[in-house]
Amino acid sequence: MVEPKLYRETLERLKALGFPFDLPLEVAHYIGGEFVPGENRFPVVYPATAEVIGTAPEGRAKEVEAAVAAAKEAFQKWSRLSPSQRRPYLRRFAEKIREYKPVFEVLETLDVGRPIHENRLGYVERMANNIEFFADFAVTHGSEAYPMENGYVNYVLRFPVGVAALITPWNMPSMLATWKIGPTLAFGNTAILKPAEFTPLGAWLLARCAHEAGLPPGVFNVVHGFGPDSAGELLTRHPEVRLISFTGETTTGKIIMKNAADSLKRLSMELGGKAPNLIFESADLDRAVEVTLRASFFNQGEVCLAGSRLLVQRSIYEPFLEKLVAAAKALKVGDPLDPETRMGALIAEEHLQKVMAYVEIARETATILTGGRRPELSHPFDKGYFLEPTVVVDVKPTDRVCQEEIFGPMVVVMPFDTEEEAIALANNTPYGLNAIVQSRDVGQVLRVSEALEVGTVWVNDWFVRDLRVPFGGAKQSGIGREGGHYGYEFYYETKNVCIANR
């Protein structure tokens, strides 16, 4: 249960930074422009200490009905505003996010257990930009026209779809919420955000930002709760919800698609990954290690885009591994609020157990070069869900640890000899979200990028996001693309108008 001293200190951090809600942390829904305390409260746990730092309400039929009704009502007016009329609201929303930057930085760490250092690398600015970008994009982007040779001209019109359910995961909750909120609202839809039950705090503050920015009631709503038999499932089944943008596990994505089929909803699904990180002998070795360290252990490896399968050309296999292991060992694991910390805690006890199960598989079937243990930390972090950065070698491509998404600070390493072999290994999983190619051979970069069956290839870097470009997964990693005009197919209805010249 709560250790009052720790609890007080956690809150002290928030209060000192201008946290806008009363304490203790009693998260509320945000429905129709009002904060609703809700019912069926469940604990909010800080992953780094396992302490209960607050409670959140579970939304059920009552809250989901109210939110859908509010969003539907608001859609009547919001959808009829022009993009340039919507833009000032969204700019104020973005400004509010910036205003609460220090609070978001702490909240995100309390939600996720991620080092605050990572929240300070432009995270909150990107959140604000995710909203601002689409507000501008909706204003400035044009449409297509198709003149015909026989006296007709076609032109394409786009119009808002309706109420969107935005279902977000716990690993980058505030970032991923704003990725979806931006285009949803800018393109004239109204939104109901259902954050993951592990991470309700950021969504709570986002609602506050929307509120203070003066968004019309019902345009943006937040309903907390779980997936199955709870707010998540109710939203995915609700006939008045027209769009579902979901980021999360592939198995959950499949269930959502089944639920959504009855009312023929639009779906955008960004699902799991098992990204290959191909390191060729021409790569700049130090750069490759630095990129690999980030791609492996950023956010404790709890990133769908994590480069969790390292494919290393045999000629540099030993020196690369030596440097990588040294760098992994040097990562400071511990108190996520300490600015020096470089790796924090996993999201929850059950998730740590899941990742540890893969560690045990690796211990039996492969070799753990470093990590694989829970670090020895002093009170109160001895109770947190920490795991050392873990590097596993001597694996076969068909091993479970090479095929399944682990979603933790554990990577597997495989050597290869030729480019063809590397491509075959890279494509040899059910997933196809993204890949990393590290090479200084431009011809090779072009050939390999073309051959990879993925939605995104990053060359000599990782997780660089331009909001204009398509983002999404191939194979079992998703359906649809978001970003720039690629989101049109999802966030807009499209209408062709064909006019005769007589």
Partner 1 sequence: MSPGALALLEAVREARATGRLLQGGRDWGVGLEEAYRIQEALFPGPLKGYKLGLVSPAKQQQMGIAEPILGRVHPEMLLESVHLARFLQPRAEPEVAVVLKADLSPGAGVGQAHAAMGGFFLAVDILDSVWEGYRFTLAEVVADNTSGGGFLLGLRRLAHLPRGSLRLYLNGEKVAEGPLEALGDPGARLAWLAERVGGLRAGQVVFLGSPAPAVPLRPGVLELWGEGVLLLARVT
Task: Find the shortest distance in angstroms from Cβ 337 to partner 1.
Answer: 7
- Binding segment toward partner 1, per CB under 8 A, in 35-43, 209-217, 272-280, 335-343: 335-343
Which three-class secondary structure state does DSSP give residue 56? strand
Residues of span 286-315 touching partner 1 by CB under 8 A: none
- Answer yes or no whether residue 337 interacts with partner 1 by CB under 8 A: yes
Assign residue 148 a region (left: φ > 0; alpha: ψ between -120 and 50; beta: otherwise). Answer: beta
- Answer yes or no whether residue 383 interacts with partner 1 by CB under 8 A: no
Pairing, β 34-36 against β 29-31: antiparallel
- Answer yes or no whether residue 338 interacts with partner 1 by CB under 8 A: yes
**Contact of 483 with 469, CB cutoff 8 Å:** yes
Task: Find the shortest distance in angstroms from Cβ 8 to partner 1.
Answer: 7
Pairing, β 241-247 against β 266-270: parallel
Given 2, 8, 80, 367, the residue binding partner 1 (CB under 8 A): 8
Task: Find the shortest distance in angstroms from Cβ 99 to partner 1.
Answer: 11
Task: Find the shortest distance in angstroms from Cβ 199 to partner 1.
Answer: 21
**Contact of 313 with 280, CB cutoff 8 Å:** yes
- Answer yes or no whether residue 421 interacts with partner 1 by CB under 8 A: no
* Closer residue to partner 1 in complex, CB, 337/356: 337
Given 16, 145, 442, 498, the residue binding partner 1 (CB under 8 A): 16
- Answer yes or no whether residue 382 interacts with partner 1 by CB under 8 A: no
The site that binds partner 1 (CB under 8 A) totals a number of residues, namely: 19
Listed in sequence order, the residues at least 6 apart from 361 whose beta carbon sits closer than 8 Å to its beta carbon are: 399, 400, 401
Task: Give dist(CA 435, CA 431) in Å, integer.
Answer: 10
Say if residue 455 is exposed, middle or buried (CB neighbours under 10 Å; 0-12, 13-18, 19+): buried
Task: Give dist(CA 274, CA 403) in Å, integer.
Answer: 7
Task: Find the shortest distance in angstroms from Cβ 51 to partner 1.
Answer: 15
DSSP conformation class of 273? -
Given 116, 206, 352, 414, the residue binding partner 1 (CB under 8 A): 116
Percent helix, strand and coil across the chain, each to the nearest 5: 40, 20, 35
Binding track, positions 66-105, relative to partner 1; x by CB under 8 A? ------------------------------------x--x
One-letter amino acid of 389: P
Binding track, positions 138-167, relative to partner 1; x by CB under 8 A? ------------------------------
Given 2, 18, 122, 229, the residue binding partner 1 (CB under 8 A): 18
Greatest CA separation for the chain: 82
Given 41, 120, 374, 447, the residue binding partner 1 (CB under 8 A): 120
* Closer residue to partner 1 in complex, CB, 6/457: 6
- Binding segment toward partner 1, per CB under 8 A, in 10-18, 407-415, 426-434, 446-454: 10-18
C-alpha angle 12-14-18 in degrees, rounded to nearest 5: 115
- Binding segment toward partner 1, per CB under 8 A, in 324-332, 333-341, 394-402, 421-429: 333-341
* Closer residue to partner 1 in complex, CB, 41/120: 120
Task: Find the shortest distance in angstroms from Cβ 334 to partner 1.
Answer: 10
Task: Find the shortest distance in angstroms from Cβ 13 to partner 1.
Answer: 5
C-alpha angle 111-116-121 in degrees, rounded to nearest 5: 120
Task: Find the shortest distance in angstroms from Cβ 17 to partner 1.
Answer: 6
Q: What is the DSSP string of 136-168?
A: HHHHH----EEE-TTSEEEEEEEEE--EEEEE-
Token pair recorded at residue 324: 């990588």
- Answer yes or no whether residue 345 interacts with partner 1 by CB under 8 A: no
Task: Find the shortest distance in angstroms from Cβ 376 to partner 1.
Answer: 15
DSSP conformation class of 429? S
- Answer yes or no whether residue 339 interacts with partner 1 by CB under 8 A: yes
User: For residues 239-264, b (16+ Cβ closer than 10 Å) or e, as one string?
Assistant: eebbbbbbbbbbebbeebbebbeeee
Task: Find the shortest distance in angstroms from Cβ 54 to partner 1.
Answer: 18
Q: How far is CA 99 from CA 136, 149, 205, 327, 393, in A?
A: 20, 55, 11, 36, 46
- Answer yes or no whether residue 13 interacts with partner 1 by CB under 8 A: yes
- Torsion angle (degrees, nearest 10) of CA 45, 48, 50, 54: -30
Question: How big is the chain, counted in residues?
Answer: 502
Pairing, β 163-167 against β 152-160: unpaired
* Closer residue to partner 1 in complex, CB, 58/105: 105
Q: Which residues are catalytic?
A: 270, 304
Q: Which of 59, 31, 482, 70 is nearest to 235 (CA)?
A: 59
Start-to-end CA distance of the chain, whole Å, equals 78
Pairing, β 474-475 against β 431-432: antiparallel
Residue ranges in contact with partner 1 by CB under 8 A: 5, 8-9, 12-13, 16-18, 102, 105, 116-117, 120, 335, 337-340, 378
